[in-house]
Amino acid sequence: MTYRAPLGEYQFILNHVVPLAPVAGTERFAEAQPDMVDAVLTEAARLCDEVLAPLNRAGDLTPARLENGVVRSSPGFKDGFRAIADGGWVALAASPEFGGMGLPQAVNSVVGEMMAGACLSLQLNPLLTQGQIEALDHHASDEIKALYLPKLISGEWSGTMNLTEPQAGSDVGALRTKAERNDDGTYAITGQKIFITWGDCDFVQNVCHLVLARLPDGGEGTKGISLFMVPKFLPDGEGKPGPANSLKVVSLEHKLGIHGSPTCVMSYEGATGWLVGEEHKGMAAMFTMMNAARLAVGMQGVGVAEAAFQKALAYANERQQMGAIINHPDVRRMLSTMKAEVFAARAIGLACAVALDMARATGSAEWQARAALLTPIAKGYGTDAGCRVAETGVQVHGGMGFIEETGAAQLYRDVRITPIYEGTNGIQAMDLVGRKMSDGGEAAQRLLDEVEADAEAARSRLPDLAGAVWAAAEAQREATEALVAQGMLDRFAGAAPYLHAFALVLGGHFHLRAALAEGGAGPRTTLAKIFITRLLPRHAALLAEAREGSEDLYALSPEDLAS
């Protein structure tokens, strides 16, 4: 069985669970009416099902390779990317001023999810380009926008981001890449970057790198870093690629998964770059790209989880062991919880996307705070759920899951990177309890108010499910109050379980909405019961861990841990 985009799920969520209607009701996104959105998603599903999904196995078996300094892509990837670019899918949420469609991020997130489910390795290329488009649109000069955005939006060029160095991973401020001012207003960039996804490819005319580097008068840490556009080929005034820039791919990493996506070591040797934003304020511009990518990566986790569930379900229906294994109770448990968790993670991601759209369309500070709060939850839970569901998919296959030919192992290997990149999930959790709680937890409490209000309204129709969701939200509220009273070290020690507990509460909330939309009886109501009675109760243990603080973690010395 190959991947099939779950169109019905997207339509149900956007109509009944995380409604897109308020977004379409704004002047900015007035064109995003149901008929138009359905047409867009139907066409995207056709692309994923018929063009991208068949490439997934080829990318795993025949990885991207480096030949004479040029990256050669996996079989079929060139045609697959051209179908993405020519279909306008890179342009979906980009500004119409530069050739984009200007559709809501919620629609773009759905398309990104289904592309990731079809072929994660290839989807990473347009994902990064879209993030770069976002960063340039917010921070670049008019000249850079006019030159680069039309080419990136059309898919003629692709974009990357270059942060990580051998000694500077999550600690970006430790980077050593240097920038020097040239007499003509450009900059000379020198240094090495690692883990650069799609740092080169053979199916676009130019690869455009956003590179973090430090000027001679840049201060220490992240506050002294600047951001530069450093293209593979130096474009002329009309945007035609000219001479090669002084940069190269040194090597490709040999990875656990996503073999079709080249992860490059890049060397910059006095390469010509152009400043994006202000000198010494590059992290602000780069964070725009990273935040866009964080939601997108969360949806990648959901997409691969969906693919893993579909594959496991098909196998369970076909495999005969004392009858079809789908009739075995433990297999039913695995499949049911897989589906319930995919729904929850998808709804959380789309709630984040809708908040981003409403913030952009209205300028509302409350919507901005909602989007900021949900971003680390969507990224952290979406990717963790992706790993859990893909792992369970291997288990459903039994011994055959450990055999590469079934494809179950590839999905597990591919999705395992998602909790690591674009800020590890531990960093997402610390961001949630740190920066996103700098308001004293007000944004979190407003969201929990909504969860409790919906649960109260549902008590007369689904009393058991509504009561459980309300109680979980109240426990999360109390934990939030305790959290903001703690010192930052104690907050950070409990950040990861706190994030997961919050996600479970939101998952229960969205499942309850789904059950109500169905009328309180039917498969969605049963799925809601499975999530609320089997998965949601785990939040109590998670909150107990979140409240423990840091003392016991630091009571064990490194020597104690090694003994």
pLDDT reported for residue 1 = 53
- DSSP label of 402: G
The pLDDT of residue 237 is 82
* Average pLDDT of the chain, as a whole number: 95
Q: What is the pLDDT of residues 446-478, one digit of tens each?
A: 999 999 999 999 999 999 999 999 999 999 999
Alpha helices in 54-104 (DSSP H): 56-61, 77-86
Cβ-defined contacts of 403-406 (< 8 Å, 24+): 406/311, 406/315
**Distance of alpha carbon 475 from alpha carbon 415, whole angstroms:** 31
Q: Tell me the average pLDDT across 192-216.
A: 96
pLDDT band at 174 (very low <50, low <70, confident <90, very high): confident
Strands (E), 167-321: 178-181, 187-197, 206-214, 225-231, 233-235, 241-244, 247-252, 263-276
Lowest-confidence region among 50-54, 158-162, 165-169, 280-284: 165-169
pLDDT of residue 221: 80
d(CA 464, CA 139): 50
Q: Is 557 exposed, middle or buried (0-12, 13-18, 19+ CB in 10 A)?
A: exposed
pLDDT band for position 2 (50/70/90)? confident
Dihedral pair phi/psi, residue 259, rounded to 5°: -65, -30
Q: What ranges do the domains of the chain cover?
A: 159-280, 438-553
**CATH code at 159-280:** 2.40.110.20
Positions marked active-site:
422
Q: pLDDT per residue over 246-290, tens digit each?
A: 999 999 999 999 999 999 999 999 999 999 999 999 888 777 777
Residue 66 host element (H or E)? strand 65-67
What's the rounded Cα separation, in Å, for the pair 386 and 244? 40
Tell whether the model's pLDDT for residue 560 goes beyond 60. Answer: yes
* pLDDT of res. 172: 73
- Over residues 500-526, the mean pLDDT reads 97
Q: Tell me the percentage of the chain whose pLDDT exceeds 90.
A: 91
Q: How far is CA 125 from CA 4, 59, 396, 413, 454, in A?
A: 21, 13, 31, 18, 39
Q: Specify the DSSP class assigned to residue 551.
A: H
pLDDT level of residue 357 (50, 70, 90 thresholds): very high
Instruction: Note the pLDDT tens digit of each residue in 19-43.
Output: 999 999 999 999 999 999 999 999 9
How far apart CA 511 and CA 473 sit, in angstroms, is 14
CB 432 within 8 A of CB 373: yes
Q: What is the pLDDT of residue 79?
A: 98
Cα radius of gyration (the chain): 23
CA distance 562 to 46: 53
Residue 408 has pLDDT above 70, yes or no: yes
**Distance, CA of 268 to CA of 25 (rounded, Å):** 47
Pair of tokens at residue 348:
């959380």
Question: What is the structure's pLDDT at 390?
Answer: 98
**Angle at alpha carbon of residue 437, lines to 431 and 439, rounded to 5°:** 140
